[in-house]
């Protein structure tokens, strides 16, 4: 079975830009992120998707982006398994981690 590279691109319109958030990690240090929500065309329907700019990529949002800007985002899918209680069925946390953004 061949695997694709975890590298995706999407174009959309910004509908929300969040403020930076910093949370302590279990390993020490901080996990800092900022979200952006895009309105995306999905066939004949419109959908919304949340992208996370994590740690070093946060500064990309300081380049004058605003709500209603049409942008291109390069991202990867990240995910982690977590278990709420021992013996229960595990669940997965999945996010869209942005790596680059540019205005169209």
Query: Is the confidence at residue 10, as pLDDT, over 90?
Result: yes
27 pLDDT more than 60? yes
Domain spans in the chain, listed from the N-terminal domain onward: 8-103
pLDDT in the model for residue 93: 83
CB 13 within 8 A of CB 39: yes
Residues 43-54 have a mean pLDDT of 93
pTM above 0.85, yes or no: no
What CATH number should be reported for the domain whose range is 8-103? Answer: 2.40.50.140
Average pLDDT for the chain: 89
Q: Is the per-residue pLDDT at 9 higher than 90?
A: yes
From the CB of residue 9, how many other CB atoms can be counted at a distance below 10 Å? 9
Q: How far is CA 85 from CA 71, 91, 93, in A?
A: 41, 11, 15
């Amino acid at each position: 079975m061949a695997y694709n590279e975890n590298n995706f691109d999407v174009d959309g319109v910004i509908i929300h830009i969040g403020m930076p958030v910093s949370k302590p990690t279990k390993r020490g240090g901080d996990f800092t992120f900022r979200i952006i929500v895009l309105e995306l065309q999905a066939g004949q329907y419109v959908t919304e998707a949340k992208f996370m700019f994590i740690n070093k990529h946060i500064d990309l949002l300081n380049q004058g982006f605003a709500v209603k800007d049409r942008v291109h985002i390069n991202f990867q899918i990240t995910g982690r398994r977590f278990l709420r209680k021992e013996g229960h069925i595990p669940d997965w946390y999945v996010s869209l981690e942005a790596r680059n953004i540019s205005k169209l």
